[in-house]
Amino acid sequence: MSVDNHTNKKMRAVILCGGQGTRLREISEILPKPMITIGNRPILWHIMKLFASQGVSDFILCLGYKGWLIKEFFLNYNMMTSDFTIQLGNNQKPTFHERNDENGWNITLADTGEKTMTGGRLVKIRQYLEGTDHFFLTYGDGVANVDLKNLLHTHINSGKVGTITAVKVAERFGEVHIDNGRVVEFNEKPAVSNNRVNGGFMVFDSKRVWDYFDSDSDNIVLEEKPLREMVKNKQLGVYNHDGFWQCMDTPREYNLLNSIWENGNAAWKIWG
């Protein structure tokens, strides 16, 4: 069932795609992080597929470092992903031999600045969220089998400004402390963690979220002031995800995700 059935306006998914992937330089020094591949597709494609498979095919990509490569990928999408035949000369158009399942995706590619922080990137695409009640937000470097329908349902029922997906992983992520269905403390990358962490796949109220951002927001980190202020105001809810989740932040994680994909065990592949 499409998650659109839970709200009277179309849902959009905002994906933060501005990262450089400095810890993945030995894998690639020329690609923005979301374009590093799992199998023969960028991790960004995998993220978009898991959204589209659950009825969310309207995307806003917040571009930064080498964002033109992401633009190039989608401008030439059929040629990048399909076999084709072309007769050279006389401006002949290629004949594509496959019909991809991504027909109908609506993608806004927005340049949000090479050095802009995560919160600033969100502010810069505010205009593209007009007409929505709520929107999804996630990072361009993590995959999961999150149930978006349940995530959105949890968010709407809570009445809060934001809801994050909390997962159990290693220590180096933004830790969240949870009490009675809401976040009571948010620590960005604590030294020691025995709790759940923010796994991305967030939902925000399209009207009220902007109260937590300054107008001059290029340097605002979403995970610092905005989320912590929501916690302070008891306006940050949580959706616990106990299924698969994995980011691609290091060569080890790159190899892990590619091994899982190649072995046919990709739990995040929830599309047919």
Confirm whether 1 is domain-assigned: no
Dihedrals phi, psi of 187, to nearest 5 degrees? -120, 120
Q: What is the pLDDT of residue 184?
A: 66
Confirm whether 268 is domain-assigned: no
- 184 in helix, strand or coil? strand
Q: What is the pLDDT of residue 48?
A: 97
Can you give the pTM of this predicted structure?
A: 0.86
Confirm whether 89 is domain-assigned: no
Residue 68 sits in which domain range? 8-83+95-262
Query: What's the token pair of residue 74?
Result: 């989608």
CA–CA gap between residue 163 and residue 201 (Å, rounded): 9
CB 248 within 8 A of CB 24: yes
**Domain count of the fold of the chain:** 1
Confirm whether 103 is domain-assigned: yes
Confirm whether 214 is domain-assigned: yes
Amino acid at 186: F
Q: What are 60's strand-pairing partners? A: 14, 108
Residue 51 sits in a domain of what CATH number? 3.90.550.10
- At 72, the pLDDT band (50, 70, 90 cuts) reads very high
DSSP state, 91?
T
Confirm whether 269 is domain-assigned: no
Confirm whether 197 is domain-assigned: yes
Per-residue pLDDT tens digits for 215-264: 667 888 999 889 999 999 999 999 999 999 999 988 999 999 999 999 99
Confirm whether 59 is domain-assigned: yes
